[in-house]
Amino acid sequence: MTSPLLYDKNGPIAVITLNRPDRHNALTPEMICRLADAFDDFKADPDLRVAVITGAGDGSFCSGGDLALTLPLLTGARSPETDWDRRLATDREILFRSNFKGAHSVKPVISAINGHCLAGGFELMLATDIRIATERARFGLPEARHALIPFAGALVRLPRQLPHAVAMEVLLTGDQIGVERLHDLGLINHVVAQEEVMQTAMAIAERIAANGPVAIAEIKRTISESTGRPLDEGYRIETESMNRVMATEDAREGPRAFMERRPPVFRGK
């Protein structure tokens, strides 16, 4: 049987595919556990520098948590039936690790949004750094319509990534919103044809992977840790990152390779 979540390593790039196209890539307990495990491995593997996450098929990136399997398990309306169920039910941190809620990754993550991106899928997208979407994609957080709330980071992330009034309308109405408006608001980087979504995401991932890995990690770390803090604290965090980067071999190799007109060889040290 094909796994509902695929995790492949293409050199320095990890590719994670939500693989339930017949169910709009809705997240089952097994998928959530496997996604958390994949992210843990991605963060720990020194050879991986960037990840791309996408959905199988051409209909949906992810429609959120499976309403028949996952949501009833989390509300207590369904008792655990499988090892995956029991693992998720007894360790809530798995749910949070599957969305980088709390412990973020200092490695960049790109979402290749191949279709509709709703509920938990929207929250997963918000946890990524760069977003490529098909021109047919629609987005939304319909949880309030089901007497639920988004709980995988959206209540904190969305008002920081969109203007307050827009975020509140999306969250309180549960209405869907088109990709072009989100692109205009800066939530989506690029809107492309369906067949170009993965190609565009991989091209960006390759450009990132070619850069200094310590520098990339420190850029993301500084931004993540300084957001929302006073300027003097942000500058302190930035200076600490500068000191770490300037002490690396890569920081010497980069300028040297530029002066010698050759491609740099970065070792992450």
66 three-state secondary structure: coil
- The predicted pLDDT at position 92 comes to 86
- The predicted pLDDT at position 228 comes to 87
Instruction: Name residue 190's amino acid.
Output: H
Both tokens assigned to 107:
């490695």
Instruction: Kindly report the pTM of this predicted structure.
Output: 0.93
Pick 54 or 72 by higher pLDDT. 54
**Rounded to 5 degrees, what are φ and ψ at 202?**
-70, -35
Choosing from 143, 238, 240, 249, the catalytic residue is: 143
Q: Tell the residue number behind the tokens 């809107």, with chain if given.
A: 191
* pLDDT per residue as tens digits for the range 169-215: 999 999 999 999 999 999 999 999 999 999 999 999 999 999 999 99
| Cα distance between residue 44 and residue 94, in whole Å | 16
20 three-state secondary structure: coil
CA 17 to chain centroid, in Å, comes to 12
Pairing of strands 50-55, 5-10: unpaired
Query: Which residues share a beta bridge with 6?
Result: 17
Instruction: Name residue 156's amino acid.
Output: V
Sign of dihedral through CA atoms 252, 255, 261, 262? Answer: positive
Q: Is 143 a catalytic residue?
A: yes
Supply the angle between the helices 164-173 and 154-161 in degrees, to the nearest 10. Answer: 140
CB of 22 closer than 8 Å to CB of 55: no
Per DSSP, 174 falls in state -
- The predicted pLDDT at position 149 comes to 93
Choosing from 30, 81, 93, 123, the catalytic residue is: 123
Helices (H), the chain: 29-44, 70-75, 83-90, 93-97, 120-126, 154-161, 164-173, 179-184, 197-209, 213-226, 231-246, 249-259
The residues, any chain, with a CB within 8 Å of residue 70's CB and separated by 6 or more, are 26, 27, 28, 29, 32, 88
Average pLDDT over residues 68-92: 89
| Cα distance between residue 198 and residue 216, in whole Å | 22
Instruction: Name residue 137's amino acid.
Output: A
* pLDDT per residue as tens digits for the range 115-146: 999 999 999 999 999 999 999 999 999 999 98
pLDDT band at 76 (very low <50, low <70, confident <90, very high): confident
| Cα distance between residue 211 and residue 12, in whole Å | 11
